[in-house]
Homo-oligomer: A and B are copies of this chain.
Amino acid sequence: MEEREISKAVIKRLPRYYRYLGEILNNGIERISSGELSGKMQVTASQIRQDLNNFGGFGQQGYGYNVKYLYDEIGKILGVNRMHSMIIIGGGNFGHALANYDFEKNGFATKAIFDIRHELAGTSIRGIPVLMMDQLEEYIERENIEIAVLTLPKSKVAEVADRLVKCGIRALWNFAHLDLDVPDDVVVENVHLVDSLMQLSYRISNYEEEL
């Protein structure tokens, strides 16, 4: 599609639109104006109209947006209109917490957790089996896994990422505090918690300076 040259900033806002529209839909609201959406989202109405125009503009002047239609369209753009299969590598605290997260309702099904500790073999978290790392390649191929979540110690991540890339994983959701070096056709989305904390402390410090 020609019109899909969308800025990164707009893409970053799409999940928020999707989230808000989902809530509005749950509340049984069928139509909404950019003004009403603006009030809820703390984004200006003109920004909302501009953002949504990127996708051909689903609104009708004076009628507002059809919530269900807009929700579905944004879902398609985000690729969450189908279920993605996911595995978690690392069954530590963080991997455990993520396995307990109900990402299924957002289109992401956690199929298995991989670890190296033999005492975890045969256990499960929320019905999701814990498997051993020597089963990794065979499992990904057999179950057609798209996404691997990396919650490993920093020292192990690069090696595991290499194995995942070799067996054709499509995307890495990386929680290790390390930037990965992978081929261009593998998507890496980083969640760097320390970077996020530093943004926060920058903003605290900066606010102090303004006083």
A100 interface residue per 8 A CB criterion: yes
Task: Check A80 against B189 for contact (C-beta < 8 Å).
Answer: no
Task: Check A197 against B18 for contact (C-beta < 8 Å).
Answer: no
A100 to B14, CA, bound (A): 32
> Which residue of B4, B94, B196 contacts A189 across the interface (Cβ within 8 Å)?
B196
Interface residues in A, total, Cβ within 8 A: 57
A199 to B80, CA, bound (A): 10
Residues 164-207 of A contacting B (Cβ, < 8 Å): 170-171, 173, 177, 179, 181, 185, 187, 189, 191-207
A127 to B191, CA, bound (A): 26
A61 interface residue per 8 A CB criterion: no
A142 interface residue per 8 A CB criterion: no
> Which residue of B18, B103, B177, B201 contacts A107 across the interface (Cβ within 8 Å)?
B201
Task: Check B106 against A100 for contact (C-beta < 8 Å).
Answer: no
Please judge, given known A-B contacts A192-B15, A197-B103, whether A204 and B170 are in contact too, CB under 8 Å: yes
Please judge, given known A-B contacts A204-B146, A204-B171, A205-B78, whether A198 and B1 are in contact too, CB under 8 Å: no
**Which residues of A line the B interface, CB within 8 A?**
1, 4, 11-12, 14-16, 18-19, 41-42, 77-80, 84, 92-94, 96-98, 100-101, 103, 106-108, 146-147, 170-171, 173, 177, 179, 181, 185, 187, 189, 191-207, 209
